[in-house]
Structure 1
Amino acid sequence: MLPPRLPHTPPPLGPRPLPLHLALQTWIALSSQAALPLLRSGSIAWSPKLETQTQSLARKLRDADPEAFAHAVTVQAGKTVAEFIAGVRAYRGAGRTPRRARGRVVWREGATCLRALGYSSTITPGKAILLVPSLINRAHILDLTDERSLCRWLTASGFHPFVLDWGAPGVDERAFGADAYILRRLEPALAQVAALGGGSAHIGGYCMGGLFATALAARNPGTCASLSLIATPWDFHAYDAAAIAMVKAARPIIEILTENGAPLGVDSIQTLFSLLDPFLTVAKFRRFNAMPKASAQRDTFIQLEDWLGDGVPLSAPLARQALFDWFGANTPGKGTWTIGGRAVRPERLTLPVFGAISGKDHIVPAPSAGALIAKIRGAHRLDVDAGHIGMVVGGRARKVFYEPWARWLGALG
């Protein structure tokens, strides 16, 4: 029997898209059984990276009883699927307190608003910072809880953060590409923060938001006091070859899904991310199933998965640009990405730049993010020992990212 939900709490949507994840786990279980004859005959074309493990497995299989081994594979495959399903059921049935938007709205245009999330009443001149998140996830990842909040840490370090909340594409934004988002939303938001902060503002961009923040800083050098790039992709051809091939193969599907100007839906976006690592979701929910029922670890998992499931659609023009121009043609990496008719050339930036890069990031590989930092003379690179999400809300985020970043910002004066 599932535990009751708290009243008036919207049902969780994740893991999205659930039918895909269930189908993938069933397919993995069936394919494990189907691969046994090929495994015994040695005819499986293993990846060269697995050569050592393959040789070890082959030696062990020579001494194994075929029927007993086949039975063990069947049992383990069934156990894996059952644990995944149990984890999903437990997650979806867990009680929740409805989340309320935090921060005071100080500017709004269309679906986008600017939230003051500095947990202090006054703004010291030169200490305002505009945080630019990705457009496909909710902005509250930067202020998830009282205990896991980049905004609270910045406030404690003497800064006053403002978070750009893009919102889901409304009537106007349905036709927006990167140009419109930067020129008609991001630049006015920067002007508002700069006005409140004494004439300039520090800029911090997370993931796709870092791409936009780079263009913003290039276009507004007099207003941007510094630029910080958190897990920001740039050289899209530095991604794994299989990921690039997958995006290219998905092009006809994306064209159909967006041909009438409809935004690219959350489930479609999550499908693309899931295919980067099909085993990640099952592993996560199996771990969740094994967590103690009343634990901070379990609560944090629920908060993060709720955030992931509550994604934001991507306008059709921006979806096509991101997948066809960025991933397909690698326009940022080649220096041919333009905003307002001007190429975005990070090597021409002269303001202080900080780059946080993770070697454990399966969303933005370190070589892709590192290519951007390497282009900027004098940029400070921080290699973070955490994943893409963990670096901003993980248990070690304060030590491996918050503190080094705050020290760098503080040293700017």
Structure 2
Amino acid sequence: MLLKGIRVVDFTWVVGGPIATQYLGLMGAEVIKVESATRPEYRKRSGWFPALNGSKLSCTLNLKEPEGQELVRELIRKSDVVVENFSTGVTEKLGIDYARLRPINPRLIMLSMSGLGREGQARDLLGYGSLLQAYSGWTSLVKETDLSVEGMGVRPPLTDHVAGVMGVLAILAALRRRDQSGHGALIDLSLLESIMTLLVEPLIEVSLTGESPPVVGNGSPHAAPHGCYACSGEDRWIALAIYDDDEWERLADLMGNPGWARSYRTGAERLANSELIDRTIAGWTRSWDCHQLAERLREIGIAAAASSSFHDLVADPHLLDRGYFTPQGDQTGTWVRGLPWIDSRMQRGHIRPAPGLGADNEYVFRQLLQLSDAQMDDLRFRGVLT
């Protein structure tokens, strides 16, 4: 496995941090999640928790106790990576900030994830993923006709997921540099700046022209028709795009070559009349099954895809053939995903079930930290190993 032999101490919670450490676990790292039964977010194992915390180990430590802090620092001394997404200032209170960890482990790589970064004027602001999508300018790209909770671009909350992947990328780069220099690193990762990596085109347009990018919704400033159109059945849709005049002619032929289509032979004519064209195509697609229409359009060389439901995806023969989804335990219809690539040497990593709270205390405290039975019993009695 790519990261075999790398030990990660995981202090993350909610979404972005657990995604980062889960990917590290899928790539072979030993990820030890530090939790505590004194915290409700760790006691609850429902909702997102099982999906985001597979392929990890779990130990319980009360970090409010000085001995708990000492033990976790000893664990970090024997580890390679620390990942945390606490509010700013919490690591200092717990005695696990980089300034105190670096002397005990100069090779340590620490990823510190926060909404707006640990430095800068707004570093102390709360930064939930949906709010940061608005802060980033993402929601400004939505058409006025789409103004709603969904249409404003705050759903789905992409920020945490993108930040998780960016965190993994930063850790891999730091591990590579450590191989060359022998030194660790502190990585200050901003969720806001992570989501802005997906907005390259509008940011470049503003920098080059000084003008705001056009607000086109599902449309495109370069192609028409370009959108998502309703098909037969409940909530079934098809996405299609026409990029040149030949494709437009083929689409017109499939539609029966109506007279109106001949009025918009050039791209400029179609862009100028895109709303009328969209309404007309939407009336035509209503009589089609989305999958049959997508196949027919692809046969004539037009880019198209049915909008899949999540039930479609877990039964998709292509994804199943590639092994992206695998059944989870004995539960019928429950699936887990793996890495989004296949490596010829390691194949595709698959998520192991999320650990129970403190399921790996014996391994962490007895084997790694070499505590005796008497020491562990005493620490449990005094509420340190909890």
Do they superpose with TM above 0.5? Answer: no
What TM-score comes out, normalization by structure 2 length? Answer: 0.26
- Higher helix residue share: 1
Q: State the structure with more CA Rg.
A: 2
What TM-score comes out, normalization by structure 1 length? Answer: 0.24
